Chains A and B, each alone.
Chain A
Amino acid sequence: EDKVVQSPLSLVVHEGDTVTLNCSYEVTNFRSLLWYKQEKKAPTFLFMLTSSGIEKKSGRLSSILDKKELFSILNITATQTGDSAIYLCAVLNAGGTSYGKLTFGQGTILTVHP
């Protein structure tokens, strides 16, 4: 069964700090790894990573995938209070009837204090 483990489970920082969130995974037929941000409602898409070593960037957020070691990191630089959220990592299965199924980790709760 596919499995995703995120660490740390929670993180409290001050504005301006840089944070690194970790995600390790086991999946039977890996297709992609996705990061989502969840505030009070629906998870919103951040990144999709398919290839190792290629960094994806969006403003102060960046992410990279290591398919050999089966992990990904999400970096947030110069954090702001608006970055406070749950960050979810998920792996996309590419096999058979499980194709397209996302398995999520438990999430990292990030709190950014002013």
Chain B
Amino acid sequence: DTGVSQDPRHKITKRGQNVTFRCDPISEHNRLYWYRQTLGQGPEFLTYFQNEAQLEKSRLLSDRFSAERPKGSFSTLEIQRTEQGDSAMYLCASSLGDRGRQEKLFFGSGTQLSVL
């Protein structure tokens, strides 16, 4: 296991379609994060999980977005009824989640979503 992997790398969809992205974190990492990044901006926090529990969701996240981590390993992020404004890079990151350690997030290469 060499790092966080995301699938697909690119996704082109038509407005109104649903899309789902997958993230596989580093195997021993308990925490998993989703971020969104648009051109010229830093990554924007969406949500994160401690094992299978979703601990926080950004207030910016509309009801069309849902994330799951059913067995505390991989996670999926679904966007329903996509809009052109959803076009962005969706980044996944993971960390050990051990309060006794200095946290460091490791990022995947992202899924680039283009909504036409």
B106 touches A45 (CB 8 A): yes
Chain A nearest CB from B16 CB (Å) reads 29
Residues of A within 8 A of B104 (CB): 34, 45, 48
A104 touches B56 (CB 8 A): no
A99 touches B99 (CB 8 A): yes
B107 touches A42 (CB 8 A): yes
Q: Contacts A97-B55, A100-B103, A102-B33 given; indicate if A41 touches B109 (C-beta within 8 A).
A: yes
- Whether a CB of chain A sits under 8 angstroms from the CB of B44 is yes
Interface residues of B in 81-110 (CB under 8 A from A): 91, 93, 95, 97, 99, 102-110
Residues of A within 8 A of B2 (CB): none
A107 touches B42 (CB 8 A): yes
- Whether a CB of chain B sits under 8 angstroms from the CB of A31 is yes
B44 touches A104 (CB 8 A): yes
- Whether a CB of chain B sits under 8 angstroms from the CB of A65 is no
B112 to A, closest residue via Cβ: A41
- Whether a CB of chain A sits under 8 angstroms from the CB of B48 is yes
- Whether a CB of chain A sits under 8 angstroms from the CB of B41 is yes
B109 touches A102 (CB 8 A): no
The answer, among B40, B44, B48, B107, for a CB contact under 8 Å with A100, is B48
Please list the residues of chain A having a beta carbon within 8 angstroms of any beta carbon in chain B: 4, 6, 31-32, 34, 36, 41-45, 48, 50, 88, 90, 92, 97-107, 109
- Whether a CB of chain A sits under 8 angstroms from the CB of B65 is no
Can you list 14 residue pairs at the A/B interface with Cβ under 8 Å? A34-B105, A42-B110, A44-B107, A45-B105, A45-B106, A48-B104, A97-B55, A99-B99, A100-B95, A101-B33, A102-B33, A102-B43, A102-B105, A107-B42
- Distance between Cα atoms of A69 and B95 in the complex (Å): 28
- Distance between Cα atoms of A103 and B31 in the complex (Å): 16
Name which of A43, A44, A103 has the most chain B CB atoms within 10 A of its CB.
A43
The answer, among A92, A103, A106, for a CB contact under 8 Å with B40, is A106
Q: Mark B58-94, 1 if CB is under 8 A from A, else 0.
A: 0000000000000000000000000000000001010
- Distance between Cα atoms of A103 and B41 in the complex (Å): 12
Name which of A41, A45, A109 has the most chain B CB atoms within 10 A of its CB.
A41
